[in-house]
Amino acid sequence: MAKIVDRKPLSLLEKTNIPQILKGLYITLVNFFRPKVTLQYPDQRPVIPNNYRGVPTLVKDPNEREKCVSCQLCEFVCPPKAIRITPGTISEEADTAHVEKAPQEFEINMLRCIYCGLCQEVCPEEAIFLQDIYSINGLSREELVFNKSKLYELGGVLPDKHYKWDKKRDDALHGNENH
């Protein structure tokens, strides 16, 4: 059963809508003189907070060597399954032959990535980092599937704390090569 609500009749001033128009003009006038908050992107960029989780990228050590050993932990932990790794081998003649393996292919589908940061947390070699890049775009879906070279281009070089690629940690710390 419907309940009937009694309303008071509108006054002559309310029937003309003048109070509502004046209130709208007042709000517009107040906001007209406030400082502008709009950024003229891309000329002006927003300040990125310290805890921002951006685009996952691959990084190299200071000697420009791949840090990823294709353990595939990031692939397994990725909730939307945006990471795909094809493990490869390292030739026995290479100076990094003591490392297990290296990725033959490494792809991150940025259309699927939810920027959760689990890949960075789980990586034992600190080879994958979330960079403060927030503006990625492409003209097709294929352009937003980043391959290994694109991920290294975005990631760059970061300091290495593990010294895995050097046969002895003392050699890396002291700069000696003949031990």
In a domain, 10, yes or no: no
User: Which domain covers residue 120, as residue numbers?
Assistant: 56-167
In a domain, 67, yes or no: yes
Residue pair 129/158 in contact by the 8 Å Cβ criterion: yes
In a domain, 127, yes or no: yes
Eight-class DSSP state of 87? E
In a domain, 126, yes or no: yes
In degrees rounded to 5, what are phi and psi of residue 115? 55, 45
Question: What pLDDT, in 10s, does the model give residues 25-56?
Answer: 999 999 999 998 888 888 888 888 888 888 99
CA distance 51 to 32: 34
Question: What pLDDT, in 10s, does the model give residues 101-141?
Answer: 889 999 999 999 999 999 999 998 889 999 988 888 899 99
In 19-43, which positions are buried (b, 16+ CB within 10 angstroms) versus exposed (e)?
eeeeeeeeeeeeeeeeeeeeeeeee
Q: How many domains does the chain have?
A: 1
Q: Does pTM surpass 0.95? A: no
In a domain, 90, yes or no: yes
Name all contacts of 1-9 with Cβ < 8 Å and 24+ positions apart: none
CATH number of the domain to which 138 belongs:
3.30.70.3270
Residue pair 90/102 in contact by the 8 Å Cβ criterion: yes
- Bridge partners (DSSP) of residue 87 are 103
In a domain, 100, yes or no: yes
In a domain, 51, yes or no: no
In a domain, 104, yes or no: yes
